[in-house]
Amino acid sequence: MVTKSSYQELENEIKKLKQSLEEEKRKCKFTNFFENSKAVMLQICSETKKILKANDAAINFYGYTKADLLQKKISDLNILQDNEIAKLMGMAIKNKIVLKRHKHRIASGEILDVEVYISIYKENDKIIFVATIFDITNRIKAEQKLKNSEEYYKTLMENSTDVISIIDENGTSLFRSTSYKQVMGYTVEEMLNKNIFDLICEDDREKLKMQLKASIENPDLVQNIFFRANHKDGTLRQLEGTAKNMLHSPIINGFIINYRDVTERIKVEKALKESETNYKNIIDNLTDAYYRANANGIVTLASSSCMKMFGYSNMGEVIGGNIEILYPDPKIRKQFLDILIKNGKVKNFRTKLLKKNGEEIFVETSANILIDKDGNYAGVEGIVRDITDRKKSEQALIYSEKQLRESNKTKDKFFSIIAHDLRSPFNAIIGFSELLSDSYDKFDVKQQKEFINIIKESSKNAYKLLDNLLLWSRSQQGAIDFCPTNENLYLLAEQVAELSKRFLKDKKINFSNNILKNIYVNVDKNMVLTIFRNLINNAIKFTKKGGSITLISSFLQNNENNKFVNITIKDSGVGIPQKNIKKLFSISGNVSTNGTEDEKGTGLGLIICKEFIDKHSGKIWAESEVGKGSSFIFTLPLSS
């Protein structure tokens, strides 16, 4: 029979057994959780600090084998000093659980940031620490990145010269960056919860309100804003920036307005615009042409005077065109650039340039080199002055001076002829006249007749010289009328030959007029007769007895398709030295030579021939060889 006390003891045993079973069950459940947990878990002896157990996650995390890890103490993993680890364990015993961030060293030597949860349980009256470890390296990096980002934007905000502000729908200030004081003079505290429209210029308020309203209706719209606001010092400042609706953002919950003070910039822009206007007015009113061209020769800027100077109808033809098209010769352009690049500038460079229609003008240009920010050649700017009229005046002056010199030479020659050539026959006339007058009876008839013939020949030579002088003088003064008519060239030559028959006969010269009989020329008849008379008489004068003179004709055509006839008067005379040929048709270098029968001459005949041929737009020249005769060739225009 079981006593009551024995039943009670049995009941207690059963209860203890149940508790033991529950404890084993909990241990089994904990062991199962510990082994299969994906979290890194360690069991650590509180007395030895040695790792008692480690799950698979811990093996993988620390990189040791299980056997190696179980030989470690917690101080081998945690980089804290032993006394610090002991202090943490004491806190865990006291508080039952503790959460701390640590740095653990893994097998590779790398130190990782970890978060450790420590709890305790007792086993055989010994305290066992259970450490659950989480790798928070990436979280720490993200937190640091966030911190850096916040610091970055805070730094940007505090150092920005622009004002960054947030206002609500009514314009009340919710936030202003520290730059607000620098821009508007007020501190952030002075304007907090104040309405921004109180400072905005009345004329700009409604416009800004309408822009903010538009942002409400279209949240994605970024508004460009410009308004004027009163500075704390009482001045009106001009501000520009952007506004964006961020009412939908729970963090911002307002309009972000970013703006800057552009008062000084606008003043500068206005001054620059006025300066550019003045500059443009000056440029456009220049008589000279102003231009800029880039390194490739493309015109980027030009005054309106460029159009007038070069014959263009609008600036579109000038701007964008290549300046090289103005140069008739690319070598001149290269020469200009070589001087410019070498010296950095060119002053009073004279050349010819082309107008749009191809007409050449004389210009004088001065230019400076343009340099880019890197110090390289970027182009040229310069002034071009049309000096065509000046050039013509200079050329006219040069021509006038030349004419004056020629005139002086002509005058000197004229006086020389009068002093020498005209004096000689008169000396003979006067001398023999006095001789006959004073001693007539002393000479026989033969001598008297000889003296009279000398007086006669001298008078004829003086008359001939005087006639030529008067004819040449009238030609120089333009007093001879030029009256071209249609004339038969052969007949004109025959008319002169007929008058010269006696002289041809006296010297037994064979004369042949081989000019074609059907040639008609548009000439002044009297001038051509004078030309033939002088040239034929010269040929007779310098051809010896028994010689020959031949007149030949041929045809030619010039580049303008004008038709001419060549007339050659060829003789078998004494010829002319080469050094004298060039002097034949110039009064200043005129050569006078006696003929083969000591015939006298002045040399004016050839000069008169040249002037009369020039009036017909013809040419005259001579070909000769000493001892073999001469050919005088001249051209006259054919009748159309």
pLDDT one-digit tens code per residue, 39-51: 888 989 888 889 9
- What confidence score (pLDDT) does residue 21 get? 65
pLDDT mean over 609-632: 90
Which comes out higher in pLDDT, residue 220 or 446? 446
pLDDT tens-place string over residues 584-602: 887 665 555 655 555 555 5
- What confidence score (pLDDT) does residue 492 get? 92
Instruction: For 383, list phi and psi in degrees, rounded to 5.
Output: -120, 135
Domain locations in the chain as residue ranges: 11-140, 160-267, 286-380, 387-479, 481-637
CA dihedral sign, ordered 93, 49, 69, 99: positive
- Is beta strand 510-513 parallel, antiparallel or unpaired with respect to 360-371? unpaired
Torsion of CA 510, 515, 521, 526, to 10 degrees: 10
**Coil, helix or strand for 599?**
coil
Please tell me the distance from the alpha carbon of residue 605 to that of residue 568, in angstroms, as a whole number.
Answer: 17
- Which amino acid is it at 626? V
- What confidence score (pLDDT) does residue 154 get? 65
Question: Cα 491 from chain centroid?
Answer: 68
- What confidence score (pLDDT) does residue 504 get? 87
- Is beta strand 563-571 parallel, antiparallel or unpaired with respect to 548-557? antiparallel
Check: CB of residue 57 under 8 Å from CB of residue 40.
yes
pTM exceeding 0.75: no
Residue 214's pLDDT band (cuts 50, 70, 90): confident
Check: CB of residue 96 under 8 Å from CB of residue 119.
yes
- What confidence score (pLDDT) does residue 164 get? 83
DSSP H helices, 347-422, are 388-416
Take residue 392 and report the two structure tokens written for it.
């013509």
Mean pLDDT taken over the chain = 82
pLDDT mean over 417-442: 73
pLDDT mean over 411-421: 60
pLDDT mean over 529-533: 87
Take residue 428 and report the two structure tokens written for it.
């003979």
Is the model's pLDDT at 130 over the cut of 90?
Answer: no
- What confidence score (pLDDT) does residue 460 get? 72
Angle between helices 445-476 and 388-416 (to 10 degrees): 170
Least confident of 115-129, 203-217, 500-514, 594-608: 594-608
Architecture of the domain delimited by 286-380: 2-Layer Sandwich (3.30)
Architecture of the domain delimited by 481-637: 2-Layer Sandwich (3.30)
- The CATH T-level fold of domain 387-479 is Helix Hairpins (1.10.287)
Is the model's pLDDT at 325 over the cut of 60?
Answer: yes
- What confidence score (pLDDT) does residue 18 get? 64
Is the model's pLDDT at 408 over the cut of 80?
Answer: no
Read off the DSSP letter of residue 126: E
Is the model's pLDDT at 1 over the cut of 50?
Answer: no
User: Of 73, 133, 77, whose CA–CA distance to 109 is shortest?
Assistant: 77
Which comes out higher in pLDDT, residue 526 or 602? 526
Question: Cα 123 from chain centroid?
Answer: 95
Percent over 70 (pLDDT), the chain:
82
CATH topology of 160-267 equal to that of 387-479? no
pLDDT tens-place string over residues 310-323: 888 888 888 888 88
pLDDT mean over 110-139: 85
Is the model's pLDDT at 241 over the cut of 80?
Answer: yes
CA dihedral sign, ordered 221, 222, 226, 232: positive
Take residue 359 and report the two structure tokens written for it.
């007409």
Residue 13's pLDDT band (cuts 50, 70, 90): low
Instruction: For 470, list phi and psi in degrees, rounded to 5.
Output: -65, -40
Please tell me the distance from the alpha carbon of residue 573 to that of residue 217, in angstroms, as a whole number.
Answer: 115
Output the CATH code of domain 11-140: 3.30.450.20
Length of the chain counted residue by residue: 640
**Coil, helix or strand for 493?**
helix
Q: Is 53 left (phi over 0), alpha (psi -120 to 50) or beta?
A: beta
Homologous superfamily of 160-267: PAS domain (3.30.450.20)
Percent over 90 (pLDDT), the chain:
14
Is the model's pLDDT at 204 over the cut of 80?
Answer: yes
**Coil, helix or strand for 374?**
coil
pLDDT tens-place string over residues 244-274: 888 888 878 888 888 888 888 888 888 878 7
Is the model's pLDDT at 566 over the cut of 60?
Answer: yes
- What confidence score (pLDDT) does residue 513 get? 94
Is the model's pLDDT at 575 over the cut of 70?
Answer: yes
Check: CB of residue 299 under 8 Å from CB of residue 320.
yes
